[in-house]
């Protein structure tokens, strides 16, 4: 018996069937039919060079070139996904910043610009708020005479409760902005972003401010303490 091997199809081809039928009609035995069937069997397909990788739960063989293209596109897609994720993270951070209370987002600027002592100085904060409030009404058409009359009027009344007065400031500021077609929230965000770029200039102005005075300003003759 021969020790040679041969790959054959799982299902017999028509050529194999025809060869076996011919030998049967000749009256030949099973062994001769087998030999003829093997001779008629097609050669197995050549193995395709390439790379096997899994897709959709099955193994697929592709050429090395196709696989290289796949890897390059996969790497490019991953880079795009990572860049998109970074943008999403930045957007989430910005959303968190904008949804945090405005007051809490002013504090880091105060601490960076002035330090805890001046940032928490109530007298200094009174003066700076009054200054900004006067500058606002001046910009909206209030005269100095009207402002002085209101100062005399307010200081001729009983002292109010701070929390209630803060509420009054917020309500009247909103009303003032509505009357002048301004968005108080947008204006606040714009100003907070602007003053973050002016930290050094504001520090210098604060250092030059005369001590024990409510007035701001730059005084070249004064040496910073």
For 145-180, how does the pLDDT look when each residue is reduced to its tens digit (9 = 90+)?
A: 999 999 999 999 999 999 999 999 999 999 999 999
The answer to whether residues 125 and 204 belong to one domain is: yes
Please write the tens of the pLDDT for every residue from 70-124: 889 989 999 999 999 999 998 888 787 777 888 999 999 999 988 999 889 899 8
Binned at pLDDT 50, 70 and 90, residue 223 comes out as very low
Do 142 and 199 have their domain in common? yes
For 15, 78, 127, 193, 196, the CA distances from 201, given in Å and listed in that order, are 96, 44, 19, 15, 10
Is residue 221 in some structural domain?
no
User: Does any domain span residue 106?
Assistant: no
Q: Which is it for strands 58-62 and 51-55: parallel, antiparallel or unpaired?
A: antiparallel
- Are 124 and 152 in the same domain? yes
Share of the chain above pLDDT 70, in %: 85
33 within 8 A of 23, measured Cβ to Cβ: yes
Instruction: Examine the domain organization and report whether 12 and 40 are in the same domain.
Output: yes
Which of 46 and 51 is assigned the larger pLDDT?
A: 51
Count of domains in the chain?
3
Is residue 185 included in any domain, yes or no? Answer: yes
How far apart are alpha carbons 70 and 82 in whole angstroms?
18
Verify that 36 and 71 share a domain, yes or no: no
- Read off the pTM: 0.53
Say yes or no: 82 and 19 in one domain.
no
Residue-number span of the structural domain to which 18 is assigned = 1-45
**Residue 221 confidence (pLDDT):** 45
Identify whether 159 is part of a domain. Answer: yes
Is residue 105 situated within a structural domain?
A: no
| Distance separating alpha carbons of residues 207 and 101, to the nearest angstrom | 29
Within a domain: 109: no
Q: Could you tell me if residue 67 is inside a domain?
A: yes
CA dihedral angle for residue 19, residue 22, residue 26, residue 32, rounded to 10 degrees:
10
Q: Which DSSP string do the residues of 48-114 spell out, in sequence order?
A: PPSEEEEETTEEEEE-HHHHHHHHHHHHHHHHHHHHHHHHHHHHHHHHHHHHS-HHHHHHHHHHHHH
Strand partners, 122: none
Do 147 and 91 reside in the same domain of the chain?
no
């Amino acid at each position: 018996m021969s020790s040679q091997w041969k790959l054959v199809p799982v299902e017999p081809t028509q050529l194999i069937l025809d060869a076996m039928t011919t030998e049967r009609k000749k009256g030949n035995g099973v062994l001769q039919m087998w030999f003829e069937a093997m001779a008629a069997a097609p050669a197995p397909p050549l193995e395709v060079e390439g790379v096997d990788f899994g897709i959709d739960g099955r193994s697929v063989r592709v050429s090395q070139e196709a696989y290289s293209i796949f890897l390059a596109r996969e790497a490019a897609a991953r880079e795009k996904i990572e860049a998109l994720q970074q943008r999403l993270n930045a957007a989430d951070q910005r959303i968190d910043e904008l949804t945090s209370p405005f007051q809490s987002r002013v504090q880091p600027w105060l601490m960076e610009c002035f330090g805890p002592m001046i940032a928490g100085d109530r007298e200094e904060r009174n003066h700076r708020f009054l200054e900004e409030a006067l500058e606002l009404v001046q910009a909206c058409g209030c005269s100095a005479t009207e402002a002085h009359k209101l100062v005399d009027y307010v200081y001729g009344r009983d002292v109010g409760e701070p929390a209630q007065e803060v509420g009054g400031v917020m309500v009247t500021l909103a009303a003032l902005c509505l009357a002048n077609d301004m968005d108080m929230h947008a204006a606040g965000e714009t100003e907070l972003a602007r003053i973050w770029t002016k930290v050094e200039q504001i520090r210098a102005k604060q250092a030059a401010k005369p001590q024990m005075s409510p007035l701001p300003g730059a005084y070249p003759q004064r040496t910073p303490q």
